[in-house]
Amino acid sequence: QVQLVESGGGLVQPGGSLRLSCAASGRTLSSLTMGWFRQAPGKEREFVSGISASGDSTKYVDSLTGRFTISRDNAKNTVYLQMRSLKPEDTAVYYCAASANTFVIYSLRSAYDYWGQGTQVTVSS
């Protein structure tokens, strides 16, 4: 069983930055494909970014490429999502997800076996 705990969310002004962290336990992070999703009020949970177990492959939703960066530190069992130039429409609960499979369609919610509880990100002046 894998436990995922997100942190780093909060209130930020438009144009600001935040770095989300996802700490994994119960299994070595280097064996897991990881992803970030988000869910705004009244909307479906949507894919944000994914990263392979080794970290050599990443995927972003097209609309966020260039503003968000996913990374991982397997030694610390932690995955990060660096968010820059934040906009009010980035406001959502951000979820970390993990898959035990090597070959994953990053954007597919059903590809992930484990989910965190989420961290709230609010972009507002």
DSSP string, 1-48: --EEEEE--EEE-TT--EEEEEEEESS-GGG-EEEEEEE-TTS--EEE
Task: Tell me the residue length of the chain.
Answer: 125
pLDDT tens track for 97-125: 999 988 788 999 999 999 999 999 999 99
- Predicted confidence at residue 102, as pLDDT, reads 80
pLDDT tens figures, 58-69: 999 988 878 999
What is the pLDDT, as a whole number, of residue 61? Answer: 94
Torsion of the alpha carbons at 29, 108, 47 and 83, rounded to the nearest 10: 30
